[in-house]
Amino acid sequence: MAGTGIETVVVDGLGLARGKRAQMAEEIEKLTADGSRPPCLAVVLVGDDPASASYIKGKRRACKRVGFDSVEHNPPATSSEAEVLALIDQLNRDDGIDGILVQLPLPDAIDPNVVAAAIDPAKDVDGVGPVNAGRLVMGEDGYFACTPLGILEILDHHQIEISGADAVVIGRSMIVGKPISLLLQRRNATVTMCHSRTRDLAEHCRRADILVAATGRPRMIPPDWIKPGAAVIDVGVTEVDGELVGDVDFEGVQGIAGIVTPHRRGVGPMTITMLLHNTLEAWKARSRA
Ligand code: NDP
Protein backbone atom coordinates (compact mmCIF):
# COMPACT_ATOMS: atom_id res chain seq x y z
CA MET A 1 0.00 0.00 0.00
CA ALA A 2 1.45 3.36 -1.00
CA GLY A 3 2.28 5.84 1.73
CA THR A 4 2.28 3.64 4.87
CA GLY A 5 6.08 3.56 5.04
CA ILE A 6 5.79 0.00 6.37
CA GLU A 7 8.16 -2.60 5.04
CA THR A 8 6.39 -5.86 5.66
CA VAL A 9 8.63 -8.63 6.93
CA VAL A 10 7.84 -11.98 5.31
CA VAL A 11 8.29 -14.67 7.96
CA ASP A 12 10.87 -17.31 7.06
CA GLY A 13 9.16 -20.20 8.82
CA LEU A 14 11.43 -22.72 7.16
CA GLY A 15 14.60 -20.92 8.28
CA LEU A 16 13.27 -20.64 11.83
CA ALA A 17 12.28 -24.32 11.78
CA ARG A 18 15.70 -25.38 10.52
CA GLY A 19 17.41 -23.41 13.29
CA LYS A 20 15.28 -25.02 15.99
CA ARG A 21 15.73 -28.50 14.50
CA ALA A 22 19.50 -28.05 14.40
CA GLN A 23 19.41 -27.16 18.13
CA MET A 24 17.31 -30.24 18.84
CA ALA A 25 19.66 -32.47 16.82
CA GLU A 26 22.62 -31.17 18.82
CA GLU A 27 20.78 -31.66 22.11
CA ILE A 28 19.75 -35.21 21.27
CA GLU A 29 23.26 -36.12 20.19
CA LYS A 30 24.54 -35.06 23.61
CA LEU A 31 21.70 -36.72 25.51
CA THR A 32 22.18 -40.07 23.77
CA ALA A 33 25.98 -40.04 23.89
CA ASP A 34 25.74 -42.54 26.78
CA GLY A 35 24.07 -45.05 24.47
CA SER A 36 20.48 -44.41 25.57
CA ARG A 37 17.86 -44.71 22.86
CA PRO A 38 16.67 -41.57 21.05
CA PRO A 39 13.07 -40.30 21.14
CA CYS A 40 10.64 -42.35 19.07
CA LEU A 41 7.44 -41.12 17.45
CA ALA A 42 4.76 -43.58 16.33
CA VAL A 43 2.64 -42.37 13.44
CA VAL A 44 -0.66 -44.01 12.59
CA LEU A 45 -2.14 -43.62 9.13
CA VAL A 46 -5.48 -45.36 8.68
CA GLY A 47 -6.05 -45.97 4.98
CA ASP A 48 -4.08 -44.65 2.07
CA ASP A 49 -5.14 -41.05 1.50
CA PRO A 50 -2.25 -39.66 -0.60
CA ALA A 51 -2.19 -36.21 1.08
CA SER A 52 -2.08 -37.85 4.55
CA ALA A 53 0.62 -40.27 3.37
CA SER A 54 2.71 -37.34 2.19
CA TYR A 55 2.29 -35.48 5.55
CA ILE A 56 3.34 -38.65 7.38
CA LYS A 57 6.37 -38.98 5.15
CA GLY A 58 7.37 -35.39 5.91
CA LYS A 59 7.01 -35.95 9.65
CA ARG A 60 9.06 -39.16 9.59
CA ARG A 61 11.76 -37.50 7.49
CA ALA A 62 11.91 -34.63 9.99
CA CYS A 63 12.31 -37.18 12.83
CA LYS A 64 15.18 -38.87 11.05
CA ARG A 65 16.98 -35.60 10.36
CA VAL A 66 17.09 -34.64 14.04
CA GLY A 67 18.14 -38.12 15.12
CA PHE A 68 14.76 -39.40 16.38
CA ASP A 69 13.36 -42.81 15.56
CA SER A 70 9.89 -43.19 14.14
CA VAL A 71 7.63 -46.13 13.40
CA GLU A 72 4.64 -46.18 11.11
CA HIS A 73 1.46 -48.18 11.46
CA ASN A 74 -0.78 -48.27 8.43
CA PRO A 75 -4.00 -50.19 9.12
CA PRO A 76 -6.41 -50.41 6.16
CA ALA A 77 -9.22 -47.88 5.57
CA THR A 78 -11.69 -50.67 6.37
CA SER A 79 -10.38 -50.97 9.96
CA SER A 80 -12.98 -50.74 12.70
CA GLU A 81 -12.75 -48.22 15.53
CA ALA A 82 -12.06 -51.13 17.92
CA GLU A 83 -9.08 -52.22 15.81
CA VAL A 84 -7.60 -48.73 15.80
CA LEU A 85 -8.17 -48.44 19.56
CA ALA A 86 -6.40 -51.79 20.06
CA LEU A 87 -3.41 -50.41 18.13
CA ILE A 88 -3.39 -47.24 20.26
CA ASP A 89 -3.48 -49.40 23.39
CA GLN A 90 -0.49 -51.40 22.14
CA LEU A 91 1.45 -48.17 21.45
CA ASN A 92 0.49 -46.74 24.85
CA ARG A 93 2.02 -49.81 26.53
CA ASP A 94 5.16 -49.87 24.38
CA ASP A 95 8.08 -48.51 26.40
CA GLY A 96 10.00 -47.77 23.22
CA ILE A 97 7.42 -45.21 22.05
CA ASP A 98 7.43 -41.64 23.39
CA GLY A 99 4.85 -39.97 21.18
CA ILE A 100 1.81 -41.07 19.20
CA LEU A 101 0.38 -39.17 16.27
CA VAL A 102 -2.78 -40.27 14.49
CA GLN A 103 -3.00 -38.61 11.10
CA LEU A 104 -6.36 -36.97 10.33
CA PRO A 105 -8.77 -37.30 8.66
CA LEU A 106 -9.83 -40.75 9.78
CA PRO A 107 -12.31 -42.88 7.80
CA ASP A 108 -15.97 -42.04 8.58
CA ALA A 109 -16.46 -45.17 10.70
CA ILE A 110 -13.86 -43.98 13.24
CA ASP A 111 -14.57 -41.12 15.65
CA PRO A 112 -11.41 -38.97 15.91
CA ASN A 113 -12.40 -37.77 19.40
CA VAL A 114 -12.64 -41.35 20.68
CA VAL A 115 -9.22 -42.16 19.23
CA ALA A 116 -7.70 -38.94 20.63
CA ALA A 117 -9.08 -39.76 24.08
CA ALA A 118 -7.49 -43.23 23.93
CA ILE A 119 -3.94 -41.90 23.50
CA ASP A 120 -1.98 -41.87 26.76
CA PRO A 121 -1.83 -38.13 27.67
CA ALA A 122 1.92 -38.56 28.33
CA LYS A 123 2.36 -39.65 24.68
CA ASP A 124 -0.19 -37.25 23.16
CA VAL A 125 2.48 -35.10 21.48
CA ASP A 126 -0.03 -33.68 18.99
CA GLY A 127 -2.08 -32.29 21.89
CA VAL A 128 -5.36 -33.71 20.57
CA GLY A 129 -6.71 -35.53 23.62
CA PRO A 130 -9.11 -34.18 26.25
CA VAL A 131 -6.56 -34.30 29.09
CA ASN A 132 -4.08 -32.02 27.35
CA ALA A 133 -6.88 -29.80 26.03
CA GLY A 134 -8.14 -29.51 29.63
CA ARG A 135 -4.65 -28.65 30.88
CA LEU A 136 -4.50 -25.87 28.31
CA VAL A 137 -7.82 -24.44 29.47
CA MET A 138 -6.76 -24.72 33.14
CA GLY A 139 -3.43 -22.98 32.56
CA GLU A 140 -1.41 -26.08 33.38
CA ASP A 141 1.58 -27.56 31.54
CA GLY A 142 0.89 -30.20 28.93
CA TYR A 143 1.33 -31.14 25.29
CA PHE A 144 -0.46 -28.59 23.17
CA ALA A 145 -1.37 -28.55 19.49
CA CYS A 146 1.68 -28.05 17.31
CA THR A 147 0.49 -25.37 14.87
CA PRO A 148 -0.42 -22.95 17.70
CA LEU A 149 2.91 -23.62 19.43
CA GLY A 150 4.66 -22.84 16.14
CA ILE A 151 2.72 -19.58 15.83
CA LEU A 152 3.92 -18.49 19.28
CA GLU A 153 7.52 -19.28 18.27
CA ILE A 154 7.09 -17.12 15.16
CA LEU A 155 5.63 -14.21 17.14
CA ASP A 156 8.39 -14.44 19.74
CA HIS A 157 11.12 -14.69 17.13
CA HIS A 158 9.84 -11.45 15.59
CA GLN A 159 9.52 -9.87 19.04
CA ILE A 160 5.81 -9.21 18.64
CA GLU A 161 4.38 -7.89 21.90
CA ILE A 162 1.64 -10.34 22.87
CA SER A 163 0.78 -9.05 26.33
CA GLY A 164 -2.00 -6.49 26.05
CA ALA A 165 -2.28 -6.91 22.27
CA ASP A 166 -5.64 -7.19 20.53
CA ALA A 167 -5.50 -10.64 18.94
CA VAL A 168 -8.17 -11.82 16.53
CA VAL A 169 -8.34 -15.50 15.64
CA ILE A 170 -10.54 -16.58 12.71
CA GLY A 171 -11.46 -20.25 13.02
CA ARG A 172 -12.36 -22.33 16.07
CA SER A 173 -11.03 -25.81 15.32
CA MET A 174 -9.50 -27.99 18.02
CA ILE A 175 -6.15 -28.08 16.21
CA VAL A 176 -5.71 -24.37 15.46
CA GLY A 177 -8.37 -21.80 16.38
CA LYS A 178 -9.23 -22.88 19.93
CA PRO A 179 -5.72 -23.69 21.18
CA ILE A 180 -4.08 -20.58 19.69
CA SER A 181 -6.82 -18.42 21.24
CA LEU A 182 -6.14 -19.95 24.65
CA LEU A 183 -2.35 -19.74 24.29
CA LEU A 184 -2.53 -16.07 23.28
CA GLN A 185 -4.84 -15.40 26.21
CA ARG A 186 -2.38 -17.15 28.53
CA ARG A 187 0.22 -14.69 27.27
CA ASN A 188 -2.17 -11.85 28.22
CA ALA A 189 -3.48 -10.90 24.79
CA THR A 190 -7.09 -9.76 24.55
CA VAL A 191 -8.45 -12.41 22.23
CA THR A 192 -11.50 -12.34 19.96
CA MET A 193 -12.45 -15.69 18.44
CA CYS A 194 -14.24 -15.36 15.11
CA HIS A 195 -15.95 -18.00 12.96
CA SER A 196 -18.40 -18.40 10.11
CA ARG A 197 -21.26 -16.83 12.08
CA THR A 198 -19.30 -13.77 13.23
CA ARG A 199 -21.01 -10.51 12.32
CA ASP A 200 -18.80 -7.90 10.65
CA LEU A 201 -15.61 -9.91 10.54
CA ALA A 202 -13.86 -7.02 8.77
CA GLU A 203 -14.32 -4.70 11.77
CA HIS A 204 -12.87 -7.30 14.15
CA CYS A 205 -9.87 -7.82 11.88
CA ARG A 206 -9.21 -4.11 11.49
CA ARG A 207 -8.42 -3.68 15.18
CA ALA A 208 -6.17 -6.76 15.39
CA ASP A 209 -2.55 -6.21 16.40
CA ILE A 210 -2.20 -9.96 15.87
CA LEU A 211 -4.42 -11.63 13.28
CA VAL A 212 -4.46 -15.42 13.00
CA ALA A 213 -6.42 -16.72 10.02
CA ALA A 214 -7.27 -20.43 10.02
CA THR A 215 -10.33 -20.91 7.83
CA GLY A 216 -9.17 -22.66 4.66
CA ARG A 217 -11.10 -20.04 2.63
CA PRO A 218 -8.70 -18.91 -0.09
CA ARG A 219 -7.74 -15.22 0.06
CA MET A 220 -10.82 -14.33 2.09
CA ILE A 221 -8.94 -11.62 3.97
CA PRO A 222 -8.37 -8.55 1.81
CA PRO A 223 -5.72 -5.89 2.51
CA ASP A 224 -8.20 -3.33 3.84
CA TRP A 225 -9.01 -5.63 6.80
CA ILE A 226 -5.45 -5.37 8.07
CA LYS A 227 -4.40 -2.83 10.71
CA PRO A 228 -1.17 -1.14 9.62
CA GLY A 229 1.78 -2.83 11.33
CA ALA A 230 -0.22 -5.93 12.41
CA ALA A 231 1.34 -9.36 12.74
CA VAL A 232 -0.57 -11.49 10.25
CA ILE A 233 -0.36 -15.26 10.68
CA ASP A 234 -1.92 -17.08 7.76
CA VAL A 235 -2.47 -20.72 8.68
CA GLY A 236 -4.84 -21.58 5.85
CA VAL A 237 -3.63 -23.67 2.94
CA THR A 238 -6.05 -24.56 0.16
CA GLU A 239 -5.40 -25.92 -3.29
CA VAL A 240 -6.94 -23.75 -6.00
CA ASP A 241 -6.39 -24.73 -9.64
CA GLY A 242 -3.37 -26.82 -8.65
CA GLU A 243 -1.83 -23.99 -6.63
CA LEU A 244 -1.66 -23.62 -2.85
CA VAL A 245 -3.34 -20.48 -1.57
CA GLY A 246 -3.62 -18.97 1.92
CA ASP A 247 -6.55 -17.28 3.68
CA VAL A 248 -4.90 -13.87 3.32
CA ASP A 249 -4.24 -11.81 0.19
CA PHE A 250 -0.49 -12.16 0.69
CA GLU A 251 0.59 -9.75 -2.06
CA GLY A 252 -2.06 -7.20 -1.10
CA VAL A 253 -0.97 -6.94 2.56
CA GLN A 254 2.62 -6.08 1.65
CA GLY A 255 3.29 -2.54 2.92
CA ILE A 256 0.45 -2.83 5.46
CA ALA A 257 1.20 -5.79 7.72
CA GLY A 258 4.23 -5.57 10.00
CA ILE A 259 4.93 -9.25 9.49
CA VAL A 260 3.10 -11.86 7.43
CA THR A 261 3.57 -15.61 7.05
CA PRO A 262 3.61 -16.93 3.49
CA HIS A 263 1.37 -19.94 2.89
CA ARG A 264 4.43 -21.96 1.87
CA ARG A 265 7.40 -22.08 4.22
CA GLY A 266 5.46 -20.10 6.81
CA VAL A 267 3.51 -21.84 9.56
CA GLY A 268 3.80 -25.39 8.12
CA PRO A 269 7.48 -26.10 8.87
CA MET A 270 7.04 -24.79 12.41
CA THR A 271 4.11 -27.16 12.96
CA ILE A 272 6.35 -30.17 12.31
CA THR A 273 9.13 -28.66 14.38
CA MET A 274 6.86 -28.30 17.39
CA LEU A 275 5.78 -31.93 16.97
CA LEU A 276 9.47 -32.84 17.30
CA HIS A 277 9.76 -30.49 20.28
CA ASN A 278 6.80 -32.15 22.03
CA THR A 279 8.22 -35.61 21.27
CA LEU A 280 11.57 -34.60 22.75
CA GLU A 281 9.83 -33.27 25.87
CA ALA A 282 7.82 -36.52 26.19
CA TRP A 283 11.04 -38.55 25.87
CA LYS A 284 12.74 -36.43 28.55
CA ALA A 285 9.73 -36.82 30.88
CA ARG A 286 9.78 -40.61 30.38
CA SER A 287 13.53 -40.75 30.97
CA ARG A 288 13.06 -38.90 34.27
CA ALA A 289 10.14 -41.12 35.36
P1 NDP B 1 -11.56 -26.33 10.09
O2 NDP B 1 -12.24 -26.55 8.79
O3 NDP B 1 -11.67 -27.32 11.18
O4 NDP B 1 -12.05 -24.92 10.68
C5 NDP B 1 -12.23 -23.81 9.87
C6 NDP B 1 -12.75 -22.69 10.73
O7 NDP B 1 -12.89 -21.55 9.90
C8 NDP B 1 -14.12 -22.97 11.35
O9 NDP B 1 -14.10 -22.61 12.71
C10 NDP B 1 -15.06 -22.11 10.54
O11 NDP B 1 -16.13 -21.59 11.29
C12 NDP B 1 -14.15 -20.96 10.13
N13 NDP B 1 -14.63 -20.34 8.91
C14 NDP B 1 -14.93 -20.93 7.74
N15 NDP B 1 -15.36 -20.02 6.86
C16 NDP B 1 -15.36 -18.84 7.48
C17 NDP B 1 -15.71 -17.53 7.10
N18 NDP B 1 -16.17 -17.26 5.88
N19 NDP B 1 -15.58 -16.54 8.00
C20 NDP B 1 -15.11 -16.80 9.24
N21 NDP B 1 -14.76 -18.02 9.67
C22 NDP B 1 -14.88 -19.03 8.80
O23 NDP B 1 -10.07 -26.04 9.71
P24 NDP B 1 -8.64 -26.23 10.48
O25 NDP B 1 -8.55 -25.36 11.67
O26 NDP B 1 -8.38 -27.66 10.60
O27 NDP B 1 -7.70 -25.65 9.33
C28 NDP B 1 -7.86 -24.34 8.84
C29 NDP B 1 -6.92 -24.13 7.67
O30 NDP B 1 -5.58 -24.22 8.15
C31 NDP B 1 -7.02 -25.18 6.56
O32 NDP B 1 -6.76 -24.53 5.33
C33 NDP B 1 -5.89 -26.15 6.88
O34 NDP B 1 -5.42 -26.80 5.74
C35 NDP B 1 -4.85 -25.21 7.43
N36 NDP B 1 -3.91 -25.83 8.36
C37 NDP B 1 -2.58 -25.60 8.14
C38 NDP B 1 -1.65 -26.10 9.02
C39 NDP B 1 -0.22 -25.81 8.79
O40 NDP B 1 0.61 -26.36 9.50
N41 NDP B 1 0.12 -24.93 7.85
C42 NDP B 1 -2.04 -26.94 10.18
C43 NDP B 1 -3.46 -27.04 10.36
C44 NDP B 1 -4.34 -26.51 9.46
P45 NDP B 1 -17.30 -22.53 11.92
O46 NDP B 1 -16.68 -23.13 13.15
O47 NDP B 1 -18.39 -21.57 12.22
O48 NDP B 1 -17.64 -23.54 10.87
pLDDT per residue rounded down to tens, the chain (289 residues):
556 799 999 999 999 999 999 999 999 999 999 999 999 999 999 999 998 999 999 999 999 999 999 999 999 999 999 999 999 999 999 999 999 999 999 999 999 999 999 999 999 999 999 999 999 999 999 999 999 999 999 999 999 999 999 999 999 999 999 999 999 999 999 999 999 999 999 999 999 999 999 999 999 999 999 999 999 999 999 999 999 999 999 999 999 999 999 988 999 999 999 999 999 999 999 988 7
CA distance 57 to 55: 5
Residue 211 belongs to a domain: yes
* 214 & 160 share domain: yes
- State the total domains in the chain: 2
Domain that holds residue 204: 145-268
Query: From the CA of 122, how far away is ligand 1's center (Å)?
Result: 27
Query: Order of strands, edge to edge, in the sheet holding 166-170?
Result: 9-10, 259-260, 231-234, 210-213, 166-170, 190-194
Give this prediction's pTM: 0.96
Residues 119-155: b if buried by 16+ CB within 10 A, e if exposed = bbbbbbbbbbbebbbebbeeeeebbbbbbbbbbbbbb
**Same domain, yes or no, for 161 and 227?**
yes
Catalytic residue among 126, 209, 247, 249: 126
Residue 146: CB within 6 Å of ligand 1?
no
Residues 153 and 232 in one domain: yes
Of all protein residues, the one whose alpha carbon is nearest to atom 12 of ligand 1 is 171
Q: How far apart are CA 104 and CA 271, in angstroms?
A: 15
Distance CA 220, CA 222 (A): 6
Closest CA to 155 of 9, 19, 53: 9
116 and 149, same domain (yes or no): no
Q: What is the CATH number of the domain that holds 196?
A: 3.40.50.720
Clarify whether residues 246 and 191 are in a common domain: yes
CATH number, residue 56 = 3.40.50.10860
Same domain, 157 and 256: yes
103 in catalytic set: yes
Residue 148: name the closest of 173, 114, 130, 117 by CA. Answer: 173
User: Ligand 1: which atom is nearest the Cα of residue 172?
Assistant: 9
